[in-house]
Amino acid sequence: MKIVLVEWFDSATEYGWQRKDLFDDRITNCQSVGFLIKETDKVVVVTLNRSDNGRYADAITIPKQSIKRIRQLKCLNGR
């Protein structure tokens, strides 16, 4: 199973009262690392945890249109 670093863009939010001149068109740059468990033409699914009985926990589904780059990482044990 591949371990990947996904660099992606997310929405930015502001909380509380703000002057409208403080808003801009910025987006947030994000990075997620984990096991690549699914990739389609629309999404990439990465999970932080997996068990030896085929179960996964703490998954994130990232839309492909938000992804800047995906890099496969190498494990220290060569897997």
**pLDDT tier for residue 78 given thresholds of 50, 70 and 90:** low
Of 1.10.287, 3.90.550, 2.60.40, 2.30.30, which CATH number belongs to 3-12+30-71? 2.30.30
Give how far the C-alpha of residue 52 lies from the chain's centroid of Cα atoms, to the nearest Å. 23
Q: Where are the domains of the chain?
A: 3-12+30-71
Tokens of 4: 């990947």
Question: What digits encode the pLDDT tens for the residues 30-74?
Answer: 999 999 999 999 999 999 999 999 899 999 999 999 999 999 998
Q: Which of 40, 35, 41 is nearest to 6 (CA)?
A: 35
Q: In what order do the strands lie in the sheet with 56-63?
A: 56-63, 43-50, 28-39, 3-10, 67-73
Spatial neighbors of 48 by CB under 8 A, at least 6 apart, are 34, 35, 57, 58, 59
Q: Which of 42, 17, 44, 16 is nearest to 30 (CA)?
A: 44
pLDDT at 11 > cutoff 60:
yes
